[in-house]
Amino acid sequence: MTHTELRAVAAGRVLLPGDDGFEQASRPWNLSVEQRVAAVVEAADAADVAATVAYARRAGIAVAAQPSGHGASGDADGVILLRTGALDEVSVDPEARTARVGAGAKWGEVLAAAGPYGLTGLAGSSPVVSVTGYTLGGGLSWFGRRHGFAADSVRAFDVVTADGEPARVTADSDPDLFWALRGGGGDFALVTAVEFDLYPAPALYGGRMLWQGHRAREVFDAFLELTAGAPDELTAWFDRVRFPQAPPMVGIDTAFLGDEAEGRALLARLDRIGDLVVDTRGPVAVADLGGIADDPTDPSPGRGRTELLTAVDEVTAKVLAEEPVEPMFGLQVRHLGGALAAERPGAGPSGPVAEPYLVYMFGPAADPAQAAAVGARQAALAEELGEAVSGRKPYTMLGRGERAEQAFPAATLARLRGIKRARDPHGVLRANYPVLG
């Protein structure tokens, strides 16, 4: 069986090596990650997804789904890359406080649809990340401290099984598969649509504050004070950034599920820090939530690393606030806790996460030498953080070269692996970070 037969079974565009547009279609979001795939199928609809999976099963080849390529690990050599960006339906039921979205829908589109009803989903920082990929990985939201992982708000999945058959998966219809999909990744079925709870957001307040870089330790100390007593409705992230051809800066990004007066009072400690350069805080429309952190919306080459921190002492604080970040673009410390740390009945594989903070390091990777230099700096900083690093990493933030076993406790990983073997014994489906990899 040759991959040219894909064109006979798929209604969407099929690209093979050598075709015009193949290189562009096969690239992930992170342009430093190589994907030597056997073919690219741009699915037209859910039926196309089923036809592609059924073909792959017959041909003895794996399928990897990527709506936009966020989270690609490079573990895709020889697979059929399934682009699901055309499955972009977004439907909001304001009375039930639920949304139904296709596998290609982006968070910015969902927030724009939910916001007019005073509702929000558990979106992350970027408006261009797909809801489905983010949710399959668990999903760390601005409002995770209040409502938990995004995956735990899912009510139902529409999927194509490894046999190429469509199915609807709920807690009642298939408890094991439903559990695995709510944060265990895309190894178990190929999701074509997801239905999830929305939450009241009659008012949001937040934004970014930036100071000159020499204020870094003072800002970090204020960040620790702020997060020590923050209500679950408030999330704050500490940032050290070094933009190209610009002096070093330090900042705090905040999102508060509440009104402006209360938000300003909670953040009053930050107003006492001098040399403030930027302050975008104010009421935030749900549709504009993605603008707080101002994440890049175009693909680029980069190298990231995430660590969970058990605590922040004087040594850790010095590393995070004072050690040089170059040649990286920056370093971010996110406050976790709240519902993310709680034992929640019926929760998926992602939590609870006991660690109160997460540190994310990111830098450019335009060529191998630059990528190596950034990676070396990240490794050195992680080493300096010492025993504060727990060793566990959120599945949704695994980086290239890391593995699923770093994200889950042993019992959770064993259950995920058992479900994978039972539901996909022939290895038809390939997640970015396979549980059996």
CATH code at 181?
A: 3.30.465.10
The pLDDT of residue 2: 57
The pLDDT of residue 1: 43
For residue 362, what are the CA distances in angstroms to 245, 303, 306, 333?
17, 6, 9, 12
Note whether residue 435 is domain-resident: no
The pLDDT of residue 173: 98
Shared domain check, 102 and 59: no
- The per-residue pLDDT string of the chain (437 residues; one tens digit each, 9 = 90 and over) reads 456 788 889 999 999 999 999 999 999 999 999 999 999 999 999 999 999 999 999 999 999 999 888 888 888 899 999 999 999 999 999 999 999 999 999 999 999 999 999 999 999 999 999 999 999 999 999 999 999 999 999 999 999 999 999 999 999 999 999 999 999 999 999 999 999 999 999 999 999 999 999 999 999 999 999 999 999 999 999 999 987 888 999 999 999 999 999 999 999 999 999 999 999 999 999 999 999 998 888 889 999 999 999 999 999 999 999 999 999 999 999 999 999 999 888 899 998 999 999 999 999 999 999 999 999 999 999 999 999 999 999 999 999 889 999 999 999 999 999 999 999 999 999 999 999 96
User: Residue 47 sits in which domain range?
Assistant: 9-83
Q: Cα 75 to chain center, whole Å?
A: 18
Strands 80-83 and 63-65: parallel
Shared domain check, 356 and 222: yes
Strands 357-364 and 330-335: antiparallel
- Whole-angstrom distance, CA of residue 140 vs CA of residue 123: 8
Note whether residue 147 is domain-resident: yes
Other Cβ atoms within 10 Å of 410 Cβ, number? 8
Shared domain check, 314 and 388: yes
Shared domain check, 260 and 196: no
Quote the number of domains for the chain: 3
List, in sequence order, every residue forming a beta bridge with 14; answer none if it has no partner: 41
Domain of 38, CATH number, reads: 3.30.43.10
The pLDDT of residue 75: 85
The pLDDT of residue 70: 86
